[in-house]
Structure 1
Amino acid sequence: MDKLNGRNTLNSRVFFLFFQWAASGITHVVCPSGGNAAIAAAYCAQASGLACTVVIPEPSEASVRRRLSLEAPDTKVVVHGNDWLEALHRAEQLVSDLQNTHSSDPTVRLLHPFDQPDLWEGYEVIIDELTPEVGQPDVVILPVGGGGLLAGVIQGLWNRGWSSTHVIAVETEGADCLNRSMKAGQLLMVPRAASIATSLVAPMLAHRSWNLAQLQSLTPATCTDVEALDAVRHFLDDHGMLVEPACGAALSVVYSGIVGRLQLEGRIPRPANVVVIITGGRNVSLRQLSEWENQLSPFGSSDHMTTAPFLPPMANPYITRTSPHSSICSDLMGKQSVGFGQQLTQDHDETLKIGTSSPSTRAVCTILNRPPTTTNSVDLHTSSTIDRDGNSDNGTLNPHDLVNFSKLLAHSEAEGDDGLRE
């Protein structure tokens, strides 16, 4: 539960680094970020007595400014570009200009949010913090953006002699640099990476992370933004903790059943000692969560999602058989259904994906379970069972129900289906 560390973010591990910089004479830190790292850097700089400038892309401005006004109001915010890569170039230029201005006393340092060896060493401590009762994990599940956390965790496993531990590295679609690189067999750049999980939006992996990923027993997995949000909701319901979509990406693997699939394929043992790194994050709120869900919903707002009342998502990841007549319902739910019932698909390169639609349940003619009544109870309550049209309902199956149900059964048999037609 790295979420429980200071500032609810794993990047708060830069505390020690900032104090080292302050002791060496550094007075100003510049950090390019899509959101989460900027908040952590600003807070750590304030605590260690350093000036801090964060450079963020325009899409992240509102949420980051709101958080910084609470966490570190003295932080200077520079808004530049539409993505993290443009923000990085602006931050590098800013550091260069400041260093040229104070050439005799270079007191400005760039903090790269993931390609920073000092941060990797900080992330190694996560493995050291595993208690003796936990021991060596069979599986470690973690989210991947630029790969800083991935590099640190793998280094930590190797330091403990646990190189046999399997790592499941989860990315969101649209920002899946590791997944695409594994497919191509070489490190690739995603120039326009996009996802609501801004902490995972990076154009490419750190070279160190890429090299370690090829040497480690590792499975790359991808999820959609909708699936990440669904996992955030599940975790909030289960544990009462609100985490960022980046953390939801890692949790989506747990809720979708990928671990069980890997066990069936023999990649990891059964039972397995599984560790999920709950990174948490600070750049999230219930209002943001609702806004994201409305943004991703094809209906624009969850209040207008007409499919939910009659086609709820299934709650069992092992039920995979669906009705042959479920295509219409599946099309309606395809872009918004997410949860335990999702089927998993596997690419030729063995990259795991969480399915984008849930198996639909059969829409059968359901007769409400009305309790049988006795003659006396009918006499006592006759006045209460007369509806506005003068019809009476004594709790028994009326002829109209029988006729409709018989017609439905006959129609189903004529279609040759083994159940009722949807």
Structure 2
Amino acid sequence: MPNLEDIRQAADGLHGRIHRTPMLESSALDEFFNAQLTLKAELFQKTGSFKVRGLLHKTLGLSPDERGRGVITVSAGNAAGALAWAARDAGVPATVVMAKTAVPAKIDAARAYGAQVELVDGDLIAAYESIRDERKLTGVHPFDDLDVITGHASLALELLADRPDLDTVLVPVGGGGLISGVALGIKLIKPAIRVIGIEPSGADVVSRSLEAGQPQKLPTAKSVADGLAAPVCGTHNFAIIQQYVDQVVRVSEDALIEATRLVMSRTKLALEPAAAAPFAALLEGKVELRGLTAAVISGGNLDVAKLKL
């Protein structure tokens, strides 16, 4: 498991390559929820999501042989764009496997960053493994990788540096990459701070894994928050979540939609539904509020084609 020095070294390596995203305040949201909130605006990160933290850190650490063979990942969208950008930054060829039903804007973004995009039907993981092995590419798991987790933990260092008075951190949960990194970074420095994960009820693989005591796989995972619809919980992620995360809660699709509209209306931030998960939990009363609460707005790659203006 990564230690604090590993996380600090990762943050140093990312410094100047990615954005130091701002902490934003919203009196309108504070009044609405009767809370003291601060928003970690990762929607302003390179490629529009937190994913670039871990995937760039992973790419920078590849051996010359791994770089030369090129990298490949599998993604609903944000990890695809992040690896494509990170690989281009590091001078490494990239391939990404995505579903044909992925958000078109996320497919276009991965291509625009220079990746070869393979669109497939059916089992994405099987397609990813087949292409990886056939072409002898270097596999980069989008979340179940200790280097990726360590890169994501750089976000925790920024949270603590900017707001050392935090009581609680609310984190969207998919396969577990972001929350495992954030929880690890937070708890190694300030273990008293609560770290709470929020996942869609229709893609609740982390909750099910915690209940079962081991990583689980869902037959299907579907949500309006496509960035959180991971069908599996990573093994490394599970171990960290089990040890360091205080609570993981489920939220409904209706709450995710309402929370997205609410935050966009009150703050003018164009967040994607996955990033609205913390606010969905507040809407449904799933989190006990006390003291300063940070909500990680994980990304802003929403499907603008579906907006009805």
TM-score category, normalised to shorter length: 0.7 to 0.9
2:223 aligned to which of 175, 186, 195 = 195
**Is contact 1:231-1:251 (8 Å) kept?**
yes
Q: Which residue, out of 51, 56, 74, partners 2:98?
A: 56
Residues 185, 8 of structure 1: alpha-carbon distance in 2 compared, 3 angstrom cutoff: same
Going from structure 1 to structure 2, the CA distance change for 1:240 and 1:23 (only over 3 Å counts) comes to farther
Structure 1's 75 and 211: CA in aligned 2 closer, same or farther, altered over 3 A?
closer
Amino acid at match of 2:98: I
Match of 2:42 in 1: 2
Query: Aligned Cα RMSD in Å?
Result: 2.3
Gap change, CA 1:165 and 1:192, over 3 Å in 2? same
Deviations 1:143-178, CA, capped at 9 Å, x for gaps: 111101121112102321x22222221111211012
1:413 maps to what in 2? none
Q: Is the 8 A contact 2:97 2:124 kept in 1?
A: yes
How far does residue 229 in structure 1 lie from its aligned partner after superposition? Answer: 1.9
How many Å separate the matches in 1 of 2:90 and 2:43?
21
Q: Aligned pair 1:87/2:124, yes or no?
A: yes
Say if 2:187 and 2:244, in contact at 8 Å, map to a contact too: no
Q: Is the helix fraction higher in 1 or 2? A: 2
Name which one, 1 or 2, has greater alpha-carbon Rg: 1
Contact 1:227/1:252 (<8 A) preserved:
yes
Q: Tell me, yes or no, if the aligned pair for 1:114 and 1:206 is still in contact at 8 Å.
A: yes
2:304 is aligned, of 260, 280, 286, to 286
Which residue does the alignment assign to 1:166?
Answer: 194
SS of the aligned residue for 1:155 comes to: helix
**Which is worse superposed, 144-153 or 56-65?**
56-65
CA contact (8 A) 1:181 1:188 kept: yes
Q: Could you tell me the TM-score, scaled by structure 1's length? A: 0.59
Quote the offset at 1:22 in angstroms. 7.1
Contact 1:229–1:289 under 8 Å retained in 2: no
**Partner residue of 2:32?**
none
- State the partner residue of 2:167: 138
Matching residue's letter, 1:48 = A
| Distance across 2 between alignment mates of 1:56 and 1:7 | 17
Alignment-derived partner of residue 181 in structure 1: 209
Alignment correspondent of 1:209: 237
**CA apart distance, 1:188:** 2.4
Specify the code of the residue in structure 2 equivalent to 1:7: T
Q: Considering fraction of residues, name the structure with more strand.
A: 2
Residue by residue, what CA displacement relative to the aligned partner does 1:365-412 show, whole Å, maximum 9, x if unpaired?
xxxxxxxxxxxxxxxxxxxxxxxxxxxxxxxxxxxxxxxxxxxxxxxx
**TM-score, normalised with respect to structure 2:** 0.78
Query: Cα offset for 1:114?
Result: 0.5
1:228 maps to: 256
CA contact (8 A) 1:55 1:78 kept: yes
> How many pairs are equivalent?
267
The offset of 1:228, in angstroms, is 1.1
Determine if the alignment matches structure 1 residue 33 to structure 2 residue 75.
yes
CA–CA distance in structure 2, aligned partners of residues 168 and 206 of structure 1:
18
- Give structure 2 stretches of 5+ with no counterpart: 1-40
Greater shift in the superposed pair: 118-127 or 57-66: 57-66
By how many angstroms is 1:245 displaced?
1.3
SS in 1 for 2:121: coil
Give the 3 Å change call, closer, same or farther, for CA 113–249 of structure 1 in structure 2: same
Classify 1:133/1:87 alpha carbon distance in 2 versus 1 (closer, same or farther; 3 Å): closer
Q: Deviations over 1:343-375 (max 9, x none)?
A: xxxxxxxxxxxxxxxxxxxxxxxxxxxxxxxxx
Counterpart contact for 2:51–2:82, Cα < 8 Å = yes
**Structure 1 gaps, min length 5:** 100-107, 264-269, 292-422
